[in-house]
Amino acid sequence: MKFGMALIVIVLIAALIGTLALTGKPDENYKSSTKQNTLRLTGIYVIVIIAAIGGLAWYISMN
């Protein structure tokens, strides 16, 4: 249990550091590629939502 909690904390800290490191590097072409970025983000959201629903269904079916 303690190992799992420690692993979660380490991953969260690494994600925070990575996010903060990326915020210092602006993307100069962001405004010109807004449509492409929106399409990519929408695709990511769709995949994550489908995976979450599938994971929930699997979890429910296991109980």
State pLDDT tens for residues 15-58: 999 888 877 766 677 666 777 878 899 999 999 999 999 999 99
Joined together, the tokens standing for residue 48 give 């994550």
**Dihedral, CA atoms, 31, 33, 35, 38, nearest 10 degrees?**
-80
pLDDT at 63: 75
CA distances from residue 51 to 45, 46, 47 in whole angstroms, order as listed: 10, 9, 6
Give me the pLDDT at residue 61, please. 92
pLDDT at 27: 66
